Amino acid sequence: MATKDNKAASLKITLKKSLIGSKEKQIATAAALGLHKVGSTTVQPDNAQTRGKIAKISHLVEVTEA
């Protein structure tokens, strides 16, 4: 039986700047992360795919460990 300490690492991602004027790929990346409005927050697993998405829009988001 798994214990509560066996949780995988995760990241809390918050959209801090507007997507207005951003490139279409950056808007699509934000949507893929579940970010639609300024101030919206999502929790994503800490893996290579998520890190790559964050790198594409790093100037628009704030990332903390969840």
What global pTM score does this model have?
Answer: 0.85
Give the pLDDT confidence of 23-62 residue by residue, as tens digits.
999 999 999 999 999 999 999 999 999 999 999 999 999 9
Give the pLDDT confidence of 2-34 residue by residue, as tens digits.
455 556 899 999 999 999 999 999 999 999 999
Burial-class residue 1 by CB neighbours within 10 Å (0-12, 13-18, 19+): exposed
**Residue that the structure tokens 């639609």 belong to:** 36
Query: For residue 47, what is the DSSP state?
Result: S
Domains of the chain: 8-65 (3.30.1390.20)
